Structure 1
Amino acid sequence: MNRSGAEFACVQGKGIFDGPVDDTSVAAIAAWKVNTVRVPLNEDCWLGASNVPSQYGGATYQNAIKSFVSTLHKHGMVVILDLHWTDGVYTGQSSACSAATATCQKPMPDAANTPAFWSSVAGAFKDDQSTVFDLFNEPYPDFAAGFDSTAGWTCWQNGGTCKGIDYQVAGMQSLVNAVRAAGADNVLMLGGVAYSNDLSQWLQHKPTDPRNNLVASMHSYNFNSCSSSSCWDSQVAPVIAQVPVVAGEIGENDCGHSYIDTLMAWLDAHHTGYAGWTWNTWDCSQGPSLISAYDGTPTNFGAGYKAHLATF
């Protein structure tokens, strides 16, 4: 499952995490039979940018993330470190904010700082093969390009000057290169376009990896375009046939679990893993949230997820 907080709390001056990340709180996650936790990160906080309060950025932030990863590993869980918020002024289609700093989701990672981020993270975790790197949370260069799929996928792979995006983009190939140049062999997850919901051209634009250690990441919610078994059969199954796929985020915004029940059954049948969004005590219709308390008390949405995990 996902454990949100480290992507936003630090840059908002609220701390490093949203809620507890101590041994007791991690034990509550493990009690659901979870074996993987995805941890979203903030580019500016990791790099210690000037817009981040000093007590929440740089080495302090990095050490807090390392400590959390260690605690998760102690409870037998793989960790996915996900780059969630990055730099770059973007005011186009689906813009979440106009700030140049890492205060919201941007359509693509920025060439100015994201390669340095991944070089640093890779250096910190290159001896930890139980930590996976999710290179960028939810790319949407196709939306930025006026829903031009061809331009979007080209931007996704190669970066540079991209249609509809004013800042220089770091494409997925450059991020794979940055991680490998740092000496890290870790598994790399690459989300598709349309907020990682579209994998239709992932194979055609798959970056070159000298370690041949790439995973396609999909995100699937009830409000996405690709939200039916027929779409998964046509878009996702062909990718699964060639490379591993992980559904890095799954959920629904109706506080129920009928959508994820159908989705998890499909993913199970295709031997494909998934991570519920999210282990935070938010309103399940806004998060959506799996829990109402950090002792593991589930929301109605979370109850469906927990019950499914209990079957394994």
Structure 2
Amino acid sequence: MRYVALLVSLLFSLPAVAVQDVTIKGKDFYLDGKPWLPKGVNVAAFVRPKFIPSAPKWMNDESNNPGREWWGPAEFAAIKSVLGGSVIRFQISQAALDPHSSIYDRAYLTELTGAIKQARAAGFVVICSMSWGDSGGLQNMAGMPDDGTTRAWQSLAPGFVHDPGVMFELFNEPKLDWNKAGSHQIWAQDMQALIDEVRSLGATNILLLDGLGYAQWTNDLFPLVHDRLPNRMAMAVHPYLDPMRNEAHLDPQEYWRKHFSLSAAQVPMITTEWNATPNGGCAGPSTPELSLALMRLLASLHVSVLGWSIDTSAKLVKDHTSYQPTDYTSFQDCKDGSESGGGSLLARFPND
């Protein structure tokens, strides 16, 4: 069985100790001193505590978040051998880590810390992404960094501040529109506060800064912040295709240039989320062609990709038995009911 083969492969490939040293030179990433594209997947298994007493029923229904069941050696093996990934990005609940929050859960911190250490022991570089969305367990949050974000990092960061194989993505998908008056200054002020706070905790980790408009826009933002440590920051972009329908008059390359590729040519950057499925990130019948064009653009810019996700309905793999990557063979249009997605593109990246 494919499952057994993957598991055996993993058992023979795990290092005794995972000590990856991630660095940045210019706009490129390096791993243990060698050029590196940090490719991998998102994991949503630990996006919120397993049970939240005050949460709506759907949040506590395990069928809506099966990732905990799948988490483990077989999934690790598939990430490595099927998708070619070396990075796992954890979606993390700000609210559940904030001691002032109504859903603060000390046991969640313990579980999350254990999962991160498990991923590191399995040889993965890890990105911790602080999430504010409804999926994190508390609805109707503001969508921009606040005091709760600071407190959440104060809870999580100390356990990993000296691990060069863990990167901190300070705030997932800031909601504010890039075009809104004053948005750049607000973004810079909020991000600078987080940068300074995390550094004050003794963190030497690389810090990732999501752009505005749910991380769709990164141009012109990086120069607005500073770090006391040189070459330890990068931008994060989420170039989902569905917003392109709102600017359909633009050529795709022009659209991407307007949103992120100008900055991607100048500063270090990771695509920390991307997929295009019939039910998410879909741009219509041209989705397969646009997805391929995007992967080729990112490869040309030396911007790596983390697929969304290994364990949600936005599928990178068709199931958790064969772990066959999704593709666009049966894709026709958005909402077509097919099991289409960017898994095969991710597996081939940067050679699409």
Is 1:185 aligned to residue 212 of structure 2? Answer: no
Structure 1 unmatched ranges of 5 or more? 87-95, 159-170, 283-287
Deviations 1:207-250 (A, max 9, x none): 12101311111101111248922233354343234320111111
Q: Which residue of 1 aligns with 2:301?
A: 270
- 2:325 maps to a residue whose letter is P
Deviations 1:60-79 (A, max 9, x none): 22222222222222332211
Instruction: Check conservation: 1:218, 1:249, Cα contact below 8 A.
Output: yes
Is 1:64 aligned to residue 111 of structure 2? Answer: yes
Is 1:249 aligned to residue 273 of structure 2? Answer: yes
1:18 Cα deviation (Å)? 4.5
Residue 109 of structure 1: which of 132, 135, 145 is its match?
A: 145
Q: Which residue of 2 aligns with 1:305?
A: 345
CA distance in 2, matches of 1:250, 1:81: 16
Q: Which residue of 2 aligns with 1:289?
A: 315
Q: 1:14 to 1:132 in 2, by over 3 A?
A: farther
Q: Which residue of 1 aligns with 2:193?
A: 174
Q: Kindly report which structure 2 residues correspond to 1:88-99, keeping only aligned pairs within 5 A, or say none.
A: none
After TM superposition, the score normalised by the length of structure 2 is 0.69
Deviations 1:132-170 (A, max 9, x none): 11111111222xxxx752322221111xxxxxxxxxxxx
Residue 92 of structure 2: which of 4, 25, 41 is its match?
A: 41
- 2:94 maps to a residue whose letter is E
Structure 2 unmatched ranges of 5 or more? 1-40, 53-58, 280-286, 328-340
- Structure showing greater radius of gyration is 2
Note the aligned Cα RMSD (angstroms): 2.9
Q: 1:140 to 1:247 in 2, by over 3 A?
A: same
Residue 227 of structure 2: which of 206, 209, 230 is its match?
A: 209
Q: Aligned with 1:136: secondary structure?
A: coil
Residue 151 of structure 1: which of 182, 187, 195 is its match?
A: 182
Q: Which residue of 1 aligns with 2:156?
A: 121
Q: Structure 1 residues 225-234 or 208-217, which shifts more? A: 225-234
- 1:210 maps to a residue whose letter is R
- 1:244 maps to a residue whose letter is P
- 2:272 maps to a residue whose letter is G
Deviations 1:27-49 (A, max 9, x none): 22122210111110001222356
Q: Aligned with 1:243: secondary structure?
A: coil
Is 1:224 aligned to residue 243 of structure 2? Answer: yes
Q: 1:33 to 1:104 in 2, by over 3 A?
A: farther
1:188 Cα deviation (Å)? 0.6
Q: 1:250 to 1:105 in 2, by over 3 A?
A: farther
Instruction: Check conservation: 2:49, 2:96, Cα contact below 8 A.
Output: no
Residue 130 of structure 1: which of 156, 165, 186 is its match?
A: 165
Instruction: Check conservation: 2:126, 2:166, Cα contact below 8 A.
Output: yes
Q: Aligned with 2:239: secondary structure?
A: strand
Deviations 1:100-148 (A, max 9, x none): x73366420222x211111222211112111111111111222xxxx75
CA distance in 1, matches of 2:291, 2:173: 19
Residue 259 of structure 1: which of 282, 290, 294 is its match?
A: 290
Q: Structure 1 residues 302-311 or 177-186, which shifts more? A: 302-311
- 1:42 maps to a residue whose letter is S
Instruction: Check conservation: 1:80, 1:133, Cα contact below 8 A.
Output: yes
Deviations 1:274-297 (A, max 9, x none): 111111241xxxxx2212322423
Q: Structure 1 residues 120-129 or 102-111, which shifts more? A: 102-111
After TM superposition, the score normalised by the length of structure 1 is 0.77
Higher relative contact order (CA 8 A, sep 6+): 2
Instruction: Check conservation: 2:75, 2:320, Cα contact below 8 A.
Output: yes
Q: Aligned with 1:150: secondary structure?
A: coil
Q: Aligned with 1:220: secondary structure?
A: coil
- 2:172 maps to a residue whose letter is N
Is 1:78 aligned to residue 125 of structure 2? Answer: yes
Q: Which residue of 1 aligns with 2:73?
A: 23
Q: 1:148 to 1:238 in 2, by over 3 A?
A: closer
Deviations 1:49-100 (A, max 9, x none): 6643x8xx21x222222222222223322111001126xxxxxxxxx79x9x
Q: Aligned with 1:141: secondary structure?
A: coil
